[in-house]
Amino acid sequence: MKPLKTGIFGGTLDPIHNGHLRSAEEVREAFGLAEVWFIPSARPPHKDAPCISPFSHRLKMADIAIRENPAFRVVDLEARRSGPSYSIDTLRELHEIHGEDRCFFFIMGADAFLEIEKWKEYRKLIDFCSIIIMSRDNALKDDAAGVVSRVWPHIRLDEQATADNFALGSVLFHRVTRLEISATSIRKKIKEGKSIRYLVPEKVREYMETNRLYMDQESDLANVSTHQPQSTIKEPDAGSERAVEIARAIHDNKGEDIIILDIRGMSAFADFFVIAHGRSTRHVEGMTSKIRRGLRDKKIKCKGIEGETEAKWVLMDYDDCIVHLFYEPVRKFYDLEGLWADAPRIAWQESPSLPDQ
């Protein structure tokens, strides 16, 4: 079977707007893409975290925006990794998971492309995808061609490519009706109390209004809650034994607000998330090594670990169970439990075998 041509539209998407949607649709049509996946950047490497909206809001708005287009999908892949969200890691992961049945097209505006040399492992991007650079006019085309010849001397910017005539690993240029909309201008208008109707899908506008997004930074953060369980509570079962064991180990090491999310059937990556936080990055760091040691003594082996050095968001891989250990403010900001609000929680605290809980 021929691999499905799949567009990847990344970005901060804070918020997603009609400029993104229209240009993605034009690219989809021009290159005969079966689907376009919108992948909001969980932690954009070039942006200051406190200045961007929580991932859960950005994801939700993207989800609402694309609902009426059957060829559009929203993918929350970047929320599952710790550390900055580098496109090369996302593309590598997508290639590993879907490399057999999909070929990827990384869609980006010419403005973004001209900055590509600042990206992590930028030369390797085309090992996993073709790049489609979109621009309203030809003004930036020469600059883009200059970048291509500098970065990949063996290829040329292809301006004539059509749906069927290009080689994989190409860099293609495509003219789109670029609507003069930017997320920055939308945020500014909201702050100034101006209308943003027709710049974003109406349902997205309603979502922003309901959640009072962009009115000021404090109100955005005030909308992030880690302490109000919205999900249903489930008793532990045989499958969740290991997650409970891990939660106990975190508790023994003074981890706070420990929850187990049952994501069986909701994610291809794992069955459970155990989420907790420490009061300082030092606490998180110390807790990480003690938990790992303690569990190893019980023959529960950690398969991989990320984010240990910074200790703001440590991710520990225990096969079917992924542990997210946060530094408290970072947990609040990324709001994983809000993102997975549909996942039931395992009531491990109430287990009779845990009298000290």
Residues within the interface to ligand ATP (CB under 6 A): 11-14, 19-20, 23, 108-109, 111-112, 178-179, 181-184
At its nearest, how many Å lie between ligand ATP and the CB of residue 115?
Answer: 9
Q: Report the C-alpha gap between 27 and 65 in whole angstroms.
A: 17
Would you say 20 or 277 has its CB closer to ligand ATP?
A: 20
Q: Report the C-alpha gap between 315 and 333 in whole angstroms.
A: 16
Would you say 115 or 241 has its CB closer to ligand ATP?
A: 115
Q: Report the C-alpha gap between 313 and 177 in whole angstroms.
A: 40
At its nearest, how many Å lie between ligand ATP and the CB of residue 220?
Answer: 14
At its nearest, how many Å lie between ligand ATP and the CB of residue 257?
Answer: 31
If residue 337 lies in a helix (H) or strand (E), which one and from where to where? helix 336-339
Would you say 170 or 226 has its CB closer to ligand ATP?
A: 170
- The token duo for 36 is 């376009």
Residue whose beta carbon is closest to ligand ATP:
109
At its nearest, how many Å lie between ligand ATP and the CB of residue 134?
Answer: 6
Would you say 182 or 211 has its CB closer to ligand ATP?
A: 182
- The secondary structure of 231-274 as a DSSP string is S-EE---GGGHHHHHHHHHHHHTT-EEEEEEE-TTT-SS-SEEE
At its nearest, how many Å lie between ligand ATP and the CB of residue 225?
Answer: 25
Q: State the alpha helices, DSSP H only, in 183-240.
A: 183-191, 202-210, 217-222
- 74 CB-near residues (< 8 Å, 6+ apart): 37, 38, 39, 40, 59, 62, 63, 66
Would you say 136 or 264 has its CB closer to ligand ATP?
A: 136
